[in-house]
Structure 1
Amino acid sequence: MDMNLLVFQEPRGVMRILHLIFSICAFATISGYTGTIYYTCYQQTAADKFGYPFLIALERNFVNQSGIIANANSSTANSQPSENIVCPIQVVGDFSSDAKFFVTTGVLAMLYSLAIIYVYTKLDNMYKSNSKLPLYDFLITVIFGVLWLSSSAAWANGLTGLKSATNPSLKPQVCKNCTAISSSFSTLNISVIFGFLNFFLWAADLWFIYKETSWFQGNQMQSTEGI
């Protein structure tokens, strides 16, 4: 049960380390994100925060009480609003399914990377002597490649909807000089990049794992016997 650190000098070992690192980076950029929507309306300011899993249901009502009429019949000259113009701002959107799909893929990829690194370092002799283990490793890597591609595409689409929802269009005839601006999405943009980068890394690793399978080794033996 001695540790075989030489595996990290091989491409399959190096790739698993990269899988582990970039999987963590991918889901951490989403789960740790907190955004803010800043409102400015009728000389009033406010802010609402939103974050993972991006199930957003925010509502603000700003009241314009600029028109004031003095009560001339009153000795104390009471003032009362002549009109109350309400500017309703709603920020609604459910992007949780795309975000959870992406984060789940990242967490599962991290766990599998840890597990297969343990197998490479502690059980490498069994891995190489048992023809089924490399095949399972290859098939699971294919599955994670597909998951990273589909979850990254889904989250990229969800992020586009999130950006649109958190920058609501206000009615100019009612909400005069009112704005609702969200904070930067740079972290979430990076998460999409990490997602597609993970797909590339898992897809690229297929060749190195394929070389460990009986499919490749059987073809090599047939080629050698043919010579």
Structure 2
Amino acid sequence: MAAPRVSLGALKEPLGLSRGLQWFFSIFAFATCGGFEGSVTVRVTCPGGDNGTEARVTNVTAAYGYPFRLNQAVFQPSLTHLCNHTWPHDVHLVGDFSSASRFFVGVAVGAFLYSLGALGLYLGYLHLYRCAGSRLPLLDLLFSCLGAALWLGASSAWAQGLRHVRAAVTAPLPHCPSPTVTCDPAAATPMGGLGASVAFGFLNLLLWAGGSWFVYKETPLHRPAPPPDPAPM
């Protein structure tokens, strides 16, 4: 294997700069989605008894987070002990949105690893990358276009999944027998970070689509092959 020729000059070119931006913003994409933890709290008011006892108020909380299997998030303390056993079973949030969120985080991690590897190639082996007959630019272009397509699919799927997560978290508590028992929203974790993850996803889509152009310019499809050496006289 040829010895590396380490040079930071590639970072000053659009080819290396775009890879650096892809690596940097992929971190924000998977961190804002994969690191999210939240909860939703509902205030349950049980009616008072016939003997003049006051109504009892209890806050129940369901914790959830990545990968957003909301149907596994149980309200605690158990509602089966409240309001004279109004709820015969534990109550969960509704929905499983793990496929969209895991797809998104998987694409972000893959983009992080590939862009980091490509940066290492540019910084140490740019002379081999650009030598005559090298197929590395064509392979790089193939993976760049694939990355842009994956970012489009993952960001769109997660944007749709996030809308469902918001709707599920803000939905009324199931099987609340109003007006006998009242169930009022008390608190919920803000989802600004999850909204940012969608924004970072589409930003990465633009970075990978734009970066594909700079990779294309390195391929024989754009750069003509050098002319053959003149024949000796």
| TM-score, normalisation: structure 2 | 0.80
The counterpart of 2:171, out of the listed 168, 172, 177, is 168
For residue 123 of structure 1, the aligned residue among 122, 125, 138 is 125
Q: What CA distance in whole angstroms lies between the structure 2 residues aligned with 1:174 and 1:96? A: 35
Please state if 1:21 is matched with 2:24: yes
Q: Does 1:141 align with 2:155?
A: no
Larger Rg: 1
Q: In structure 1, the residue corresponding to 2:179 is in which secondary structure?
A: coil
Do residues 187 (structure 1) and 206 (structure 2) align? Answer: no
2:67 corresponds to which residue? 53
Query: Residue deviations 1:10-61, cap 9 Å, x none?
Result: 0011001100000111001111110111121121113221111111223442
SS of residue matched to 1:93 = coil
Which segment is superposed worse, 208-217 or 170-179?
A: 170-179
How far apart, CA to CA, are the structure 1 residues paired with 2:61 and 2:172? 17
Q: Measure the CA separation in 2 of the matches of 1:219 and 1:174.
A: 81
Matches within 5 A, 1:36-115: 36-42=39-45, 43-56=57-70, 57-60=72-75, 61=79, 63-64=82-83, 84=84, 86=86, 89-115=91-117
Structure with a larger share of its residues in helix: 1
Deviation at 1:164, TM superposition (A): 1.0
For structure 2, the residue ranges without an aligned partner over 5 or more in a row are 46-56, 228-233
RMSD: 2.0
TM-score of the superposed pair, with normalisation by structure 1: 0.82
Point out the structure with the larger strand share: 1
Deviation at 1:175, TM superposition (A): 3.6
Number of equivalent positions: 202
Letter in 2 for 1:156: A
Tell me: CA distance 1:46–1:169, structure 2 relative to 1, closer, same or farther (3 Å). closer
Q: Contact (CA 8 Å) 2:159, 2:198: kept in 1 or not?
A: yes
Residue 215 of structure 1 corresponds to which residue in structure 2?
221
Instruction: Give the whole-Å Cα distance in 1 for the aligned partners of 2:13 and 2:64.
Output: 43
Deviation at 1:181, TM superposition (A): 4.4
Q: Any stretches of 5+ residues in structure 1 without a counterpart? A: 65-83, 222-227
CA distance in 2, matches of 1:165, 1:220: 60
